[in-house]
Amino acid sequence: MRMDEDDFSIGTSGIVAEYITYKVQQAGFDYQVSPTRNCPNNKVIDTVKKLCSEFEKRYESQFTEMCETCSQVELNSANYVAVLDQLIVNGLHWGRVVAIFSFAGAMSVYCMKKNQKERVDWIREWTCQFMDSKVENWINENNGWRGLIDFYTNGIKKPEEKTNGWGSVLIGGALGAFALGALIINKA
């Protein structure tokens, strides 16, 4: 896979915006998350789309359940970040980074289907803030976005990623749903 330096010039917030726009448009909605830029044939964004697609196919029902649970509480930064925190509760690896993107995309589509278009920008903003504060350093320490390309191209090589792959992301997702359930009970 040939990569140009331009493939890596896009920052995390741009990748988040591009992915959310892609998911919402893929679901049939005319929507452009702002700000974003046109990134045709960007290897990082294409890889995020491919990995998220695989992840979402494996855990479609769990993501639907998580989105429905989220809709039962006030959608605010604290509640949304609580779910993302649970996705990385046992540490970070590329599978969990993919889970963050997948959840942001699924939640954005869910909001569009519920005619809550304004919430998509909130989700983008909260996801970007979360990535900046809790994930960006890990990405930089793991070869930046080139590390994601390597993860996709070469498969999982690190022992900790073999033992903590998609399955533990699912467990983290279930814990996220549990945390939301606790929020619902505490609000009652």
What CATH number does residue 177 fall under? 1.10.437.10
Residues 6+ apart with CB under 8 A from 184: 69, 72, 73
pLDDT digits over 147-169, tens only? Answer: 999 998 887 544 344 444 555 54
Q: Which of 74-78, 132-136, 177-181 has the highest mean pLDDT?
A: 132-136
Count how many domains the chain has.
Answer: 1
- Record the pTM: 0.80
Residue 125 has pLDDT above 70, yes or no: yes
**Which range marks the domain in which residue 178 is found?**
5-187
pLDDT at 95 over 80: yes
